[in-house]
Amino acid sequence: MTGCMTVRGFQIYSEKLDAETQQAMLEDLRQVIRQAPMFSPQTPFGKPMSVRMTSAGRVGWVSDRNGYRYAHRHPDGGPWPTIPETVLTVWRDLVSTDRDPDCCLINFYGEQARMGMHQDRDETDFSWPVLSLSLGDEGLFRIGNQTRGGKTESIWLRSGSVVVMGGPARLTYHGIDKIRFKSSSLLPKGGRINVTCRVVG
């Protein structure tokens, strides 16, 4: 494991998870996806998002014509699976042993997927950081400011990279500009998985 660097208050651990841990986490996530299939959300404006997603935990993040929110059920009507132990282990190591996250959101990026600049602000409690885990192809992560616009800094997140977004950075704008398709061999068909854990409040 290499050290941690801080960019605009984001703590970035670029090789936090070793190959074995990544593989074990991937198997856990596949189990979650079998129970709660990935879906293609629409923005509140009716535009399809390019990432596919699902969740584990007490609540899951959903988006459709009714807006962005946390829901107690998958859009298909089923319950969300529990958060895998491999994910909780990282949360307990880097964030807290006092409280586990309420939601573990799983995003999948195919070759053309991206995520526009956004704040994570659908939670009611911003005192807890958001923990992000990346698996598979590299993603170009852009970090902005507390308000939309202004200068930004970008960093490639690799398979096994972990980011903690907390404290003054909790409401900083960020996004993924693109992925480097097939830069990793973890996912045989290519693509990138990002897992974010949150206390929703």
Q: How far is the CB of 118 from Fe ion (least distance, A)?
A: 6
Degrees to nearest 5, angle at CA 198 with 176 and 182: 35
Stretch that binds Fe ion, among 12-20, 23-31, 33-41, 116-124 (CB under 5 A): 116-124
Residue 134 to residues 16, 121, 166, 179, Cα–Cα distance (Å):
10, 21, 17, 12
Closest CA to 61 of 102, 109, 27: 102
**Under rule CB under 6 A, residue 196 binds ligand MD6:** yes
Q: What are phi and psi of 3, to 5 degrees?
A: -75, -170
Q: Residues 6 or more apart from 122 whose CB is under 8 A from it?
A: 61, 68, 69, 70, 200
**Under rule CB under 6 A, residue 17 binds ligand MD6:** no
**Under rule CB under 5 A, residue 120 binds Fe ion:** yes
Closest CA to 16 of 78, 68, 110, 86: 86
Which of 120, 123, 137, 138 forms a contact with ligand MD6 (CB under 6 A)?
Answer: 120
Residues in 22-51 that interact with Fe ion by CB under 5 A? none
State which residue, 75 or 166, has the beta carbon closest to ligand MD6.
166
- The pattern of x and - marking residues 90 through 119 that bind ligand MD6 according to CB under 6 A reads -----------------x-------x----
Site for ligand MD6, rule CB under 6 A: 107, 115, 120, 130, 132, 134, 139, 141, 157, 163, 165, 174, 176, 194, 196
